[in-house]
Every structure is written in structure tokens, then in C-alpha cells.
Structure 1
Amino acid sequence: MALKRALFIAGPTASGKSALSLRLAEDLNGVIINADSMQVYKDLRVITARPSEAEEAEAPHKLYGFLDGSEVCSAAFWAERAMEEIETAWAAGQTPIVIGGTGMYFKVLLDGIAVIPDIPDDIRRSVRNRCAAEGSEALHEELMAVDGRTATRLAPGDSQRICRALEVYLATGKPISAWQAETAPGPMKAHDEAGEVVKVVLDPPRDVLYDRCNRRFDLMMQQGALEEVQALMARELDPSLPLMRSLGVPQLIAYLRGGLPYDDAMEDAKMQTRRFAKRQLTWFRNQFGDWKRLPAQLSESAYGDFVNKNIKNPLTE
């Protein structure tokens, strides 16, 4: 009898996740489930490196391009949808392959997320405006007085998380650390503890990754990234939306509006992509210490050895 087994593949941008997932889907009767926070949106296929239509035709792809760019996809919402797709794949006798670069998506699916009430808009605006005017260091000191546990683990310059923690306290009267302590396990936790989840991080050498980031952005431009961003601009969406801050988008918008020369826009976009990939590498190494590590490129023998030892043999009793 077939066992319930899922394969999680995380990795930084441009590390070769999509190519590996296609190969695994073919070998394992797999369903590829997106775990990238930008690829959930339908607006920017090229610049978010979403699988092409031809690639999507090679194997079932789920949770790609299923939301409009005007929406916000929370990790909790994604985890609910991902679990539905995993259960559907199991029911069909297929192997769910959850793949992407958004580490928090994997964390929520496995470890859960604190159910915190919605923050009123006036509180959020007030905190954000204060941060802009006073600086994150001042708010960090304030947070230390009301939620020392959270403040201790946050750098004074981590404005996004500092603001979030203060917003939660001001809105609920309860520190975010207390909310997080009450977090229920994620929907995949029991399967992970039962050994049914194979967890892999693609961990390429940094110089190789940076080169791939540069070359991929050049390829995106050849494939129509600029035209995609131009169409997105025409929608006049709120610039604070996640999709509007996707890698390369702010730089191309600046170029299209005449505020940045083309070459400068390209260089800045590539630099921001490399920096993001570096942060992803660091995050995965710190947060996913028990996950298996793989290089970005696997030889035929290394690929076969990995699949046989970690995936194929455990898939059947």
C-alpha cells in the first residue's frame, strides 16, 4: 500500500528549484505545489520566474498565478490552500512536491502560525508613521518595555518586525510573543513527525548563485519583463502591495517613469536580487538546520542516488 509522502524543496531564487521539481514530478508521479509568495499572483509570470505554460503542461502545477495582484496572500491562507492540494494529491495516489523560496510558507505549514486578530488601520498607520519619523531604534526601545522577549531577538534596524510587534501589542494589549506561544502545530506537523515529509534545501555556492541571478535577470528582460511591468503600472495598484515590491519591479517602474537610467535600473535590480538570495541562504541555514542539503546542480548519478535513498524507496511499503 502506498504511504502518504510529501517532498518539500526550498531554496533561494535562481537555484534551480523549478527544473528539479519537473524532473521529480515525472519520476514520482508528482504534483508541483507552489511555495513562492510572488508566484501566487497571475500578473507577472516572467519577472517572478513562474513556470512557463510549456513547463506547466509537463506536470500538474498548483497554486501558481491563482490570485490577482490586488490581493494580499498571507502565509496562513497559503498553508490552508497548500494542505488542500496535498490531500488531493494523496487521494489521487500522487506525490505532492511543495517547492519555493518563501521559507515562512514552509514554517507555517509545519509549525503553524499565531492566530492574531486583525490590526485596525489607524493603529497600523500610526505606528508606521512614527517609525518613519522617529526611526526603528526608538520604537525598538518602546517594544523592549512591553515585549522584551520579542525585542531581544530583533535587531534595532528591523523596522518591519518591530512595527508589527508594536501594532499587535497596541491593538490587543497582549505581546506578540504571547500570541506566538499559543500557536497550534501546522497541518503537516504530524506527517513530518511520522517521517512522511522529505525536506530538502538547495544550497549552491554563493558565487554560482550570484552568477545565476544576474544571467536570469538578463533572460527575463529578453522574455518581456519590461512589458509585464508596464502593464502592471497601468493598473495603478497600491504601491505597498506585495506584488509591487517584487524583485526588479521597483527598478523597472523607476526606469519607465524616467527616474532611473536603464543601465542603473538593471544593475540595481540585479544587486537587489543577489542580496535577497543571500538573505534566503542565511535564513534557510539558520531555520532549516535539519533539512537535507543539495547542490544546485545534480549529476545523473547524484540525482539517482538521492531519489533512491530518500524518496523512491520510502514511497512504497
Structure 2
Amino acid sequence: MEKIIIPVIMGPTAVGKTELALQLASDYDYEIISCDSRQIYRHMDIGTAKVSCKEREGVRHWLIDVLNPDQAYSAYSFAKDALAIMRSRKKLGKKTLICGGTGLYFYTLTHGMGAVIDADSEIRAKLQLKASRQGEKVLHEELKSVDPISADRLHPNDLQRIIRALEVYYHTGKPLSLLQEKNTPPSDVEFRLFIVTRPRDVLYERINRRVREMINAGLYEEFRLLCALGYDEKSPGMQCVGYKELFDVQKGNITLKEAIEKISQNSRRYAKRQRTWFRNKTAGIQFSYNTALKSLKEEIEKIHEK
């Protein structure tokens, strides 16, 4: 069976993945599957650094603007949707590549999805209420007691995935990590992972500059519009960095200037976690951004030669 070969461009936030993916897609006629847990949501454009409508006119994108911010989306959902897209596009003679920074999504895609576990809205609501009253760290400690492997994989502030892991445990009586051990990787797809890097100080300055640009582009106005549409702190999309910090501005607890610093700080912390994830959890080829385009083109040419 001929395998579908999928180039994958990953790296921390603000490293420059999107620009590289757009260039490669344009040069080699690829469509792009977004591997981004935030860009899946509609109406959240500025704070997620989403590709523009004009850029999407030139290159077809998948898994962007699919859900409303109050809808939950999981690594399992991504793996299922991404596999369906790449297989269906292959049948039509189209080529796809993956671009993004959500490591857990890519890990689930490449290691297999395992059993289908439906969402339990009642359990989820109770866990969300507990987090709002007692804090996110309480749920992470709770996860440690029932599923220490999953707790070790997840950052204490990754509330959405912590809740999902607890939801699976209370719904099935089995740890998510145990269920994932039975996962089977897709046999018809071969992933070629390329990780884009920059020196830490350069990356952090890019993050700080990007946050300032987002504010100037109207991030707070976008946040207020989302609130006016009925989305709040419990909405999965609004728990993203860049939006969750603005609720304290809305409540009058902090100034917008203080929120900007928090967004920058949380974005840098997120980038640090991404760098650690890619270093410890993946086995891709790493490229410095300055040489990445040339190196990536050489790798893509090798794929096309086969």
C-alpha cells in the first residue's frame, strides 16, 4: 500500500511557522491542515494570529474557523478530522501538509486515537465549577491521584485538557493514559516532522512584539465582541492565552497595560513548554528559522522524488 507522505512544520508560537508553510504550499501546491488548538475557533482572529482571509484565498486551509468558542475540541477530534482530510484530499490528487504548534494534537494523530470516549457534559460542568471556585491547581492535583501519567504530561494550567482527562476517568473508570496505551498509529500515513527554532531571546522578543501588535490591531475590542456574543470564562476558546487575561480588565481588577504584560508573560511560558515538548516528545528534524526555508525545500524535493 502506497503511504500518504505528510510534511509537518511545527515549532513554538511566533517562531515563523505560518510564513514558511505558506511559502512551501505556494511553491509545491500543498493545502495546509492547521494543527492549532486556538485557530479552530471562529471570531478569534487577532489573538490567535490566524492567517488572513487573503492568505487563505491563495492557499486552501483546513481546521480553521470550524467551531464556535463555546464548543469543546479535543486531540482525538483533531486526529480524526485531520486523517479524514488528508485521506480524502489524497483520493482527489491533492497534497496536504500540517502546520502548527499544538504538540498534543500531533502526538495523538501520529500515535493513534484509541477508543472513542464521548463527552459527559454533566461531569465536565462539575469540574469546571470546581476549577472556578477552588482554582486550576486543585484539578491537576486531583488528576495526579487518579491518572499520574496524564498529570505528568499536562501543564498545571492546561485546564481544558486536565478536565478532559478527569472527565474520561470519571466516565469510564479508567485512566486516559491507560486507554491511550492501546492506540494504534495510522498505517497508511507517513509523517515527516520538521521543527523550526530560533534563539530563545529572539523568540521572546518576537512574542513581546506580536502581543503589542495584537493590541494595536484591536485585540481588546475583539475580546469585547466575543463577550457580547455570549462567550465567557467557561467557554473553551476563551480560556486561551490572549483572551483569558482580559477578563480581569473587564472586571476592573487590573489595567489593560497590566493585562498586556500578563499575555506576554503567559505567551513566553507557553513557548517554553512547546520547546520542551518538541525536544522531549518528538523526533523531528530541527531547523533554525534563518536556514529553514532552504532546508525545508530540500526535504520536500526528496519527498517528491519518491
Q: TM-score normalized by structure 1? A: 0.83
Paired position in structure 2 for 1:312: 301
The answer to whether the 8 Å contact 1:38/1:246 transfers is yes
Could you tell me which runs of 5 or more consecutive residues in structure 1 were left unpaired when the two chains were aligned: none
Identity of aligned residues (%): 32
Structure 1's 258 and 115: CA in aligned 2 closer, same or farther, altered over 3 A?
Answer: same
In 2: Cα distance, 1:183 partner to 1:240 partner: 30
The answer to whether the 8 Å contact 2:33/2:61 transfers is yes
Could you tell me which runs of 5 or more consecutive residues in structure 2 were left unpaired when the two chains were aligned: none
The answer to whether the 8 Å contact 2:198/2:289 transfers is yes
Q: Is the counterpart of residue 235 in structure 1 residue 224 in structure 2?
A: no
Matched residues, number? 301
SS at match of 1:31: strand
Structure 1's 163 and 306: CA in aligned 2 closer, same or farther, altered over 3 A?
Answer: closer
Structure 1's 94 and 171: CA in aligned 2 closer, same or farther, altered over 3 A?
Answer: closer
Structure 1's 67 and 282: CA in aligned 2 closer, same or farther, altered over 3 A?
Answer: same
The answer to whether the 8 Å contact 2:143/2:150 transfers is yes
CA shift at 1:18, angstroms?
0.7
Structure 1's 118 and 238: CA in aligned 2 closer, same or farther, altered over 3 A?
Answer: farther
The answer to whether the 8 Å contact 1:33/1:62 transfers is yes
In 2: Cα distance, 1:24 partner to 1:156 partner: 32
> Map of 1:1-317 to 2, 5 A cutoff?
4-115=4-115, 117-118=117-118, 120-124=120-124, 132=134, 135=138, 139=142, 142-143=145-146, 150=149, 153=152, 167-185=167-185, 187=186, 189-192=187-190, 197-288=191-282, 290-298=283-291, 303-308=293-298, 310-317=299-306
The answer to whether the 8 Å contact 1:28/1:312 transfers is no
Structure 1's 91 and 296: CA in aligned 2 closer, same or farther, altered over 3 A?
Answer: same
Name which one, 1 or 2, has greater alpha-carbon Rg.
1
Structure 1's 9 and 129: CA in aligned 2 closer, same or farther, altered over 3 A?
Answer: same
Q: TM-score normalized by structure 2? A: 0.85
Structure 1's 116 and 92: CA in aligned 2 closer, same or farther, altered over 3 A?
Answer: closer
In 2: Cα distance, 1:45 partner to 1:165 partner: 28
